[in-house]
Structure 1
Amino acid sequence: MRFFFYLTLGFLLSAADAPMLAPIKVTILPVNLAQHQIEVHLTLPSDLLNEGGTLALPAWTPGSYLIRDYAKFVDQVQILKGEPLVKVDKQQWKVPPHQGALTIRYRVYGNLMSVRENYIDESQAHLIGTNTFMYAPNHLERPYEISFKGFPASWKIACGLLDKEGVVRAANYDLLVDSPIQIGTFRSHQWESQGARFELAITGDHNGDESRLVRDIEKIVNETGKIFGNFPFKKYVFLLGFSPNTRGGLEHLQSTSLLSDPFRFDKEEGYYTLYQLVAHEFFHAWNVKRIKDVVLGPFDYSKENYTKLLWFHEGFTSYMEHQIVNRAGVVPWKYSIKQYENLWNLVAQHPGRLSQSLEESSFDTWIRYYQQNEWTEVSSISYYDHGELTGWLMEAEIVEGSKGQWGLKDLFRELWINHGTQGITDADIQKVYEKLSGKPSAPFWDQYIRRSSAPNSKTLASVFGLKFKFETPTDRLSEDEKKNLQIVERSKVYAGIRFQGESSGGTNIISSVIPGGPADQAGLSVGYEILFVNGWRTLSASEVNKRIADAKLGETVKIVASHRGRQKVLNLVVSENPLKSLKLEFAKSASPEAQKNFSDWSGHSFLP
Structure 2
Amino acid sequence: MNAYTLSRALAAFALSFSLISGASAQNSAPQPVPIISTIPEPQDRPLPAPMSLHVDATDVDRAIFRVQQNIPVETGKPLILLYPQWLPGKHGPRGALAEMTGLMIRAGGKTLRWTRDPVQVYAFHVDTPEGTTSVDVEFEFTSPIRESEGRIVVTPNMMNVQWEQVALYPAGHFTRAIQVKPSIALPEGWTGVAALDGATITGNRIDYGLTSFETLVDSPMFAGPHYKKWDLGHNVTLNVWADDAKYLAAKPEQIAAHRALVDESLLLFGSKHFDRYEFLLGLTEELGGIGLEHHRSSENTRETDYFIQWDDNMSERGLLPHEFTHSWNGKFRRPATMWTPDYTTPMRDNLLWVYEGQTSFWDLVLGARSGLQSKEMVLAEWAKYAGFYAEQPGRMWRSVEDTTHDPIFAARKPKPFASQSRGEDYYNESSLIWLDADMTIRELSKGTKSLDDFAKAFFGVRDADWGVLTYDFDEVVRTLNAVQPYDWARFLDTKLRQPGQPAPLAGIEKGGYKLVWKEEPNIFDKELMKEGNNLNLAHSLGMMLNKDAIVTSVLWNSPAFKANIVNGAKIIAVNGYAYSKDGLTAAIKAAKDGKTPIRLIVERSKRFAQIDIAYSGGLRYPHLEVTGQGKTAIDRLLSPRRTKP
Q: TM-score range, shorter-chain basis?
A: 0.7 to 0.9
Determine if contact 2:538/2:555 at 8 Å carries over to the other structure. no
SS at match of 2:111: coil
Q: Deviation at 1:251?
A: 0.3
Matches of 1:522 and 1:118 in 2, distance apart? 38
Greater Cα offset, 551-560 or 270-279: 551-560
Pick from 44, 56, 81 the counterpart of residue 82 of structure 2. Answer: 56
Structure 1 residue 475 displacement after superposition? 12
Give SS of 1:54's match.
Answer: strand
C-alpha separation in 1, matches of 2:482 and 2:437 = 13
- Choose the corresponding residue for 2:163, options 106, 115, 129: 129
Choose the corresponding residue for 2:554, options 502, 512, 530.
Answer: 512
CA separation of 1:435 and 1:108: change in aligned 2, threshold 3 A? same
State the one-letter code of the partner of 1:436: V
Q: Which of 96, 113, 136 is matched with 1:70 structurally?
A: 96
Displacement after TM superposition at 1:352 (Å): 3.3
C-alpha deviation, 1:599, in angstroms: 2.9
* Aligned match for 2:418, one of 356, 360, 376: 376
Q: What CA deviation, in whole Å up to 9, does each residue of 1:544-588 have, x standing for no partner? A: 665576554277777776665667777754353695622323722
Shift in Å, 1:103: 0.9
Say whether 1:430 aligns with 2:470.
no
CA 1:87–1:283 in 2, change beyond 3 Å: closer, same or farther? same
Deviation at 1:368, TM superposition (A): 3.8
1:109 to 120, 138, 142: 142
Candidates 42, 57, 62, aligned match of 2:69: 42
Whether 2:635 is the aligned partner of 1:598: answer yes
Aligned to 1:439: 486
Shift of residue 24 of structure 1?
0.7
Q: How far apart are residue 127 of structure 1 and its match?
A: 0.8
Deviation digits for residues 68-118 of structure 1 (CA, Å, limit 9, x no counterpart): 44122221111355437535154333322141322111112234699x967
The match for 1:484 is: none
Q: Which residue is 2:282 aligned to? A: 241
Cα distance change of structure 1 residues 412 and 568 upon mapping to structure 2, 3 Å threshold:
same
Q: 2:452 aligns with which of 399, 405, 409?
A: 409
- Structure 1 Cα separation of the partners of residues 355 and 303 of structure 2: 26
CA displacement, residues 210-234 of structure 1 (integer Å, 9 cap, x when unaligned): 6545443222112211222221221
Q: Where does 1:219-238 land on structure 2 (aligned, <5 Å)?
A: 219-238=260-279
Q: Who is 1:96 aligned against? A: 127
Please state whether the residue corresponding to 1:372 is helix, strand or coil. Answer: coil
1:83 aligned onto 2:111: yes
Greater mean alpha carbon deviation, residues 311-320 or residues 339-348: 339-348
Q: Give me the CA root mean square deviation.
A: 3.9
Q: Distance in 2 between matches of 1:595 and 1:563?
A: 49
Letter in 2 for 1:175: T
- Determine helix, strand or coil for the equivalent of 1:292: strand
AA aligned to 1:424 is Y
Matched to 1:83, the amino acid is T
Give the aligned partner of residue 339 of structure 1.
381
CA distance in 1, matches of 2:494, 2:382: 20
Question: Which of 542-551 and 118-127 deviates more?
Answer: 542-551
Does residue 258 of structure 1 match 2:258? Answer: no
Shift of 1:281: 0.6
Q: Is the 8 A contact 1:225 1:231 kept in 2?
A: yes
Counterpart of 1:485 in structure 2 is: none
CA contact (8 A) 2:158 2:225 kept: yes
- Tell me which moved more, 398-407 or 261-270: 261-270
Task: Show the counterpart of 2:36.
Answer: none
**Structure 1 289/208 Cα, relative in aligned 2: closer, same or farther at 3 Å?**
same
In structure 1, C-alpha distance between the alignment counterparts of 2:125 and 2:442, rounded to whole Å: 57
Partner Cα distance (1:342, 1:394) in 2: 19
Larger Rg: 2
How far did residue 520 of structure 1 move? Answer: 4.5
Match of 2:343?
Answer: 301
CA contact (8 A) 1:227 1:409 kept: yes
Between 408-417 and 355-364, the greater mean CA deviation after superposition? 408-417
Structure 2 distance, partners of 1:56, 1:314, is 28
Residue aligned with 1:576, SS: coil
Given the alignment of the two structures, is residue 388 of structure 1 paired with residue 431 of structure 2, yes or no?
A: yes
In structure 2, do the counterparts of structure 1 residues 354 and 546 end up closer, same or farther at CA, with 3 Å as the change threshold? farther
Stretches of structure 1 that go unaligned for 5 or more consecutive residues are 1-16, 477-491
Percentage of matched positions with identical amino acids = 18
Report the residue type matching 1:94 in the other structure: H
Q: Which residue of 1 aligns with 2:195?
A: 160
Contact kept, 8 Å, 1:251 with 1:257, in 2: the verdict is yes
Q: Is 1:198 aligned to residue 243 of structure 2? A: no
Question: Aligned partners of 1:61, 1:523: CA distance in 2, in Å?
Answer: 40
Q: Which residue of structure 2 aligns with residue 180 of structure 1?
A: 220
